[in-house]
């Protein structure tokens, strides 16, 4: 490896660190020391080692608990952990594996075995890092392409508006223009959602909270989908609080979130059905918003993955599915400190429920 690998050795006896340091002396690693699990967690707050050699029997916080906490942390969980232990029972091994350990070394440690295990773990870590770089490169390229799509799409939307104003086109062409307009706005919604998702995932999105009239917001959402609903012979119904009651949200992101949910409800509904957008104030508990449709519904297995990126659940013929809309909605709701759930409507269809705290 070109860069010097960093190893954190966690052991309550400094002599053991000295022994491991001597065994690894010829390998040119950068070694760090922590006397217990608490010190190890503190070290990880400011440093990211490539490997952790973790003793099991330690005061204050033993190795199993330290391993469990490290592996439960989003930023640290990818770091390989080799448990260095004098415990040899299967029960102890199972506890270490359940805590997230990657490998084991038994005391007294054999120098050749130590060096071989360390090299193996560092190869795994390097493979993980290389994969993350490729994934990040892919995400960056997608973001660039998606961003560059906005300019030609803006030209298409402008051309649609000009065609509507033209006196040269026969009346029968207006329906075709409406279809183009709806498709272009759906594409714009997907592009904007992808860009916002990238910002949320990177932690670079700063929400612009303002007081927004909930009734006006939800009414505007339904009005924007009237033409699309009419084409599928669907009825849009709104149940909102009285005008004047406000909610503290990022209006732009929240609007896109509701647009995604209503668009999905229309997409997955059969003709002549109903779609209900309902919003209620729950007093000190916050705000609850529900989108109910009479479409295909979601099976139990799909409910567990439907909000994951690129998961599309059940493939439905003739329905375009990217697996991004609901992933964006979940990210946006959680960015507002809320949550989203899904359940089946009776006798058929789906109910998505958003709850925002007060």
Per-residue pLDDT of 87-120, as tens digits, reads: 666 777 788 888 899 988 888 889 999 999 999 9
Whether residue 310 has pLDDT greater than 90: no
Whether residue 153 has pLDDT greater than 70: yes
pLDDT of residue 323: 57
Of 64 and 324, more confident: 64
Look up the CATH number of domain 209-356.
3.30.565.10
pLDDT of residue 1: 43
Answer yes or no: are the C-beta atoms of 284 and 247 closer than 8 Å.
no
Q: Is 235 helix (H, G, I), strand (E, B) or coil?
A: strand
What is the distance between the alpha carbons of residues 151 and 54, in angstroms, rounded to a whole number?
A: 53
What is the distance between the alpha carbons of residues 178 and 183, in angstroms, rounded to a whole number?
A: 9
- Beta-bridge mates of residue 10: 34, 54
Q: Where are the alpha helices (DSSP H) in 268-324?
A: 300-303
Nearest CA to 78 among 125, 24, 14, 37?
A: 125
pLDDT of residue 178: 79
pLDDT of residue 256: 86
pLDDT of residue 268: 84
Look up the CATH number of domain 6-109.
3.40.50.2300
Answer yes or no: are the C-beta atoms of 263 and 325 closer than 8 Å.
yes
Whether residue 262 has pLDDT greater than 90: yes
Q: Which of 69-73, 80-84, 243-247 has the lowest mean pLDDT?
A: 243-247
19 pLDDT band (50/70/90 cuts)? very high
Whether residue 122 has pLDDT greater than 90: yes
Separation in Å, CA 88 to CA 17, 93, 113: 21, 7, 17
What is the distance between the alpha carbons of residues 61 and 59, in angstroms, rounded to a whole number?
A: 6
Average predicted confidence (pLDDT) for the chain: 85
Average pLDDT of the segment spanning 23-34 = 92
Of 24 and 141, more confident: 24
Of 155 and 196, more confident: 155
């Amino acid at each position: 490896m070109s860069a010097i690998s960093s190893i954190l050795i966690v052991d309550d006896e400094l002599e053991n660190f000295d022994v491991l340091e001597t065994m690894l002396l010829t390998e040119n690693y950068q070694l760090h020391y922590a006397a217990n699990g608490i010190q190890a967690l503190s070290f990880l707050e400011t440093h990211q080692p490539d490997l952790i050699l973790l003793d099991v029997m330690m005061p204050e916080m033993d190795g199993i608990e330290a391993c469990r906490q490290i592996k439960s942390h989003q930023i640290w969980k990818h770091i390989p952990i080799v448990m260095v232990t004098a415990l040899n029972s299967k029960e102890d091994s199972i506890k270490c594996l359940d805590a997230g350990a990657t490998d084991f070394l038994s005391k007294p440690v054999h120098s050749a075995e130590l060096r071989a295990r360390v090299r193996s773990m560092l190869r795994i870590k390097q493979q993980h890092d290389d994969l993350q770089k490729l994934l990040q490169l892919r995400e960056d390229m997608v973001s660039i392409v998606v961003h560059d799509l906005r300019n030609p799409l803006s030209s298409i939307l402008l051309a649609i508006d000009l065609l509507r104003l033209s006196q040269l086109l026969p009346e029968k062409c207006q329906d075709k223009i409406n279809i183009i307009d709806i498709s272009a706005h759906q594409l714009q919604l997907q592009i904007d959602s992808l860009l916002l998702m990238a910002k949320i995932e990177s932690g670079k999105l700063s929400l612009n909270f303002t007081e927004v009239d909930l009734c006006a917001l939800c009414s505007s959402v339904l009005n924007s989908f009237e033409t699309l609903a009419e084409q599928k012979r669907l009825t849009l119904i709104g149940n909102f609080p009285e005008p004047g009651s406000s909610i503290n949200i990022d209006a732009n992101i929240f609007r896109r979130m509701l647009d995604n949910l209503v668009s999905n409800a229309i997409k997955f509904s059969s003709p002549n059905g109903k779609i209900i957008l309902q919003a209620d104030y729950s007093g000190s508990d916050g705000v609850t918003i529900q989108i109910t449709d009479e479409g295909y519904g979601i099976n139990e297995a799909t409910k567990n993955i439907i909000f994951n990126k690129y998961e599309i659940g059940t493939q439905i013929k003739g329905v375009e599915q990217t697996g991004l809309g609901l992933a964006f909605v979940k990210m946006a709701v959680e960015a507002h400190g809320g949550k989203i759930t899904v359940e089946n409507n009776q006798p058929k269809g789906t109910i998505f429920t958003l709850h925002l705290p007060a």
